[in-house]
Amino acid sequence: MPLTMARLEAFARALFEAAGLDADKADTLAQLLVLTDAMGRRTHGLAMVPLYLAELAKGTMARSGEPEVVTQRGVVALWDGGYLPGQYVVARAIDWAVPRAAEHGIAAVTIRRSHHIGCLAALALRAVEQGFVALIANSDPAGARVAPYGGTEALFTPDPFAIGYPGTPNPVLVDICASITTTSMTRQKVAEGAQFAQPWLLDRAGLLTTDPRVLEHSTPRGSLQLIGGLDHGHKGFGLALMVEALSQGLAGHGRLDAPKRWGGNTFVQIIEPDLFAGRDAFAAQMDHFGDRCRSNRPIDPARPVRLPGDGAARALTAARRDGITYDDVTWSALADRAAQLGVALP
């Protein structure tokens, strides 16, 4: 049965508060996870709740407190997230950067040692809906899921990167990573007992495979394949190096420190087009380009060209109108955690 976004947010908020998370952090997490589901990014929505609750129970996700300002100079800051929920810390960073970008054109925050930040596109939308351009890069210095190009040993995480900007009729939201697929999607396939349709992973010998179990259930384990595959994986590798530099190099905290707990390093940059050529000029240029892309003669007439963000906008409109339904695996896991915490199902 479809449930409204408001009921789902209330349910998620109640779960997090029952687990001891501060109310403001529980509220931010609930809103962003449900928004992520509404945008169609189901691997990073409420499906993450059982994992987050387990982290709260172990004490590896902080329940209270605020990020520490390590350095702040003008429109640039470095924060230590103290393993607080990543969505909360990044949302705070965006809220810090937006007014400074409005005054000076650009503002940036690098965050070290927060927890998992979830869907980058959902976070970018927070600034984009206010008329700003947002860039977000994220990595986990404790994670090893992807091998460098030409290697067989997993070394870094999928290293996602997002850019969002205002557009007509929809905001443009590019949310990609250095690997072809993600850790969350691989875990979902394992839980379903399913294979990938394409060989998006490499086994421990560096050979192509569709088996998601090589990432967690082989010794030594395999890795996620880089964007570009075996022929052009240097492209994905280059993207990963960029993300690692922005999120770990600028943070002064990363793989050199060999952290052992699930976390996130994040780079956030907010740009105000009005202090460059102007918001109207930005809109004219980018909407013109977007229109040219959408009107481009498609390979398949039944599948016209769309821009990143078009699908999310349609999904979000439908979710607001019709509510959201969940697959049995996800809902069963949520129901189990609700029973353990004494929280009523919506």
- Rg, C-alpha atoms of the chain: 20
Residue-by-residue pLDDT tens, the chain, 346 positions: 899 999 999 999 999 999 999 999 999 999 999 999 999 999 999 999 999 999 999 999 999 999 999 999 999 999 999 999 999 999 999 999 999 999 999 999 999 999 999 999 999 999 999 999 999 999 999 999 999 999 999 999 999 999 999 999 999 999 999 999 999 889 889 988 899 999 999 999 999 999 999 998 878 899 999 999 999 999 999 999 999 999 999 999 999 999 999 999 999 999 999 999 999 999 999 999 999 999 999 999 999 999 999 999 999 999 999 999 999 989 999 999 999 999 999 9
Domain residues for the domain of 293 are: 281-308
- Same domain, yes or no: 138 and 233: yes
Peptide bond into 99 cis (omega under 30): no
- Same domain, yes or no: 142 and 85: yes
- Same domain, yes or no: 92 and 231: yes
As given in the structure block, the two tokens for residue 345 are 């199902």
- Same domain, yes or no: 165 and 55: no
3-state secondary structure 135-178: EEEEECCCCCCECCCCCCCCCECCCEEEEEECCCCCCEEEEEEC
As given in the structure block, the two tokens for residue 318 are 């439908």
Structural domain count, the chain? 4
- Same domain, yes or no: 301 and 313: no
- Same domain, yes or no: 111 and 193: no
* d(C-alpha 286, C-alpha 280), whole Å: 10
Q: Provide the strand spans (E) within the chain.
A: 68-73, 76-80, 106-114, 133-139, 160-165, 172-177, 201-202, 208-209, 223-224, 264-271
Q: Do 262 and 91 meet the contact criterion of CB atoms below 8 Å apart? A: no
Can you give the pLDDT at residue 244? 98
- Same domain, yes or no: 107 and 154: yes
- Same domain, yes or no: 242 and 292: no
Tell me the CATH number at 11: 1.10.1530.10
* d(C-alpha 203, C-alpha 284), whole Å: 47
Q: Do 37 and 46 meet the contact criterion of CB atoms below 8 Å apart? A: yes
Question: Residue for token digits 């013109």?
Answer: 288
Instruction: Compute how many other C-beta atoms are within 10 angstroms of the C-beta atom of residue 152.
Output: 15
Can you give the pLDDT at residue 92? 98
- Same domain, yes or no: 148 and 272: yes
- Same domain, yes or no: 112 and 168: yes
User: Among 92, 79, 17, 81, which Cα is nearest to 52's?
Assistant: 17
Tell me the CATH number at 80: 3.30.1370.60
- Same domain, yes or no: 211 and 286: no
Can you give the pLDDT at residue 217? 81
- Same domain, yes or no: 159 and 92: yes
* d(C-alpha 24, C-alpha 63), whole Å: 11
As given in the structure block, the two tokens for residue 132 are 């700003």
Tell me the CATH number at 184: 3.30.60
Q: Which amino acid does the sequence have at 229?
A: G
